[in-house]
Amino acid sequence: MTDAAVVFAAVFIALYVAHSVGDHWVQSSCQVDDKGKPGWAGRWACTRHVIGLTLTKGATLAVVVALLHLPVTALGVTLGLAVDAVTHWWADRRSTLAWLAKICGKAEFYSLGTGAHPAHPVTAEGKPAAHLGTGAYALDQSFHHLWLLVAALIIATV
């Protein structure tokens, strides 16, 4: 294995774990509720979320880099985290990811698990039933994972 491959693997794992913590534990309920809203209130909520998420990723990465003595550069880390932050912010504005799902032919999957989906689960009373996960969440997370991979490649090679 080359040094870059080892660094990539360690960085990707660190970013993946930090992403999960930052997206689910660090993000506030207010940010979840507001980040997709139109206007400055939504943009600011999304920005606050991405700042907390990026700080979580940076701190996690710093520990992994220090403990494993990974040969990364400040430029690579800065560029990688910046690409991840910008793409995360873009997707978390919600209308942007819904648009991408639509143009990719995934609009029906995006609505999976919501009352808007044609086959949504219902209770005995015919109301939308509670469930775990939605198509929007699955597409959101897979979009973020793609960019975590890109960020890890940048960090490992720049």
Each residue's pLDDT tens digit, 46-82: 999 999 999 999 999 999 999 999 999 999 999 999 9
Token pair listed for 74: 């400040």
Q: What is the pLDDT of residues 78-131, one digit of tens each?
A: 999 999 999 999 999 988 988 998 999 988 877 776 655 555 666 678 776 666
| Residue 112 confidence (pLDDT) | 74
Bridge-partner residues for 122, per DSSP? 128
Nearest partner of 26 among 61, 53, 46, judged by Cα:
53
| Residue 129 confidence (pLDDT) | 64
Q: What is the pLDDT of residues 134-158, one digit of tens each?
A: 778 888 899 999 999 999 999 999 9
C-alpha distances out from residue 130 to 99, 114, 140, Å: 25, 9, 20
| Residue 89 confidence (pLDDT) | 96
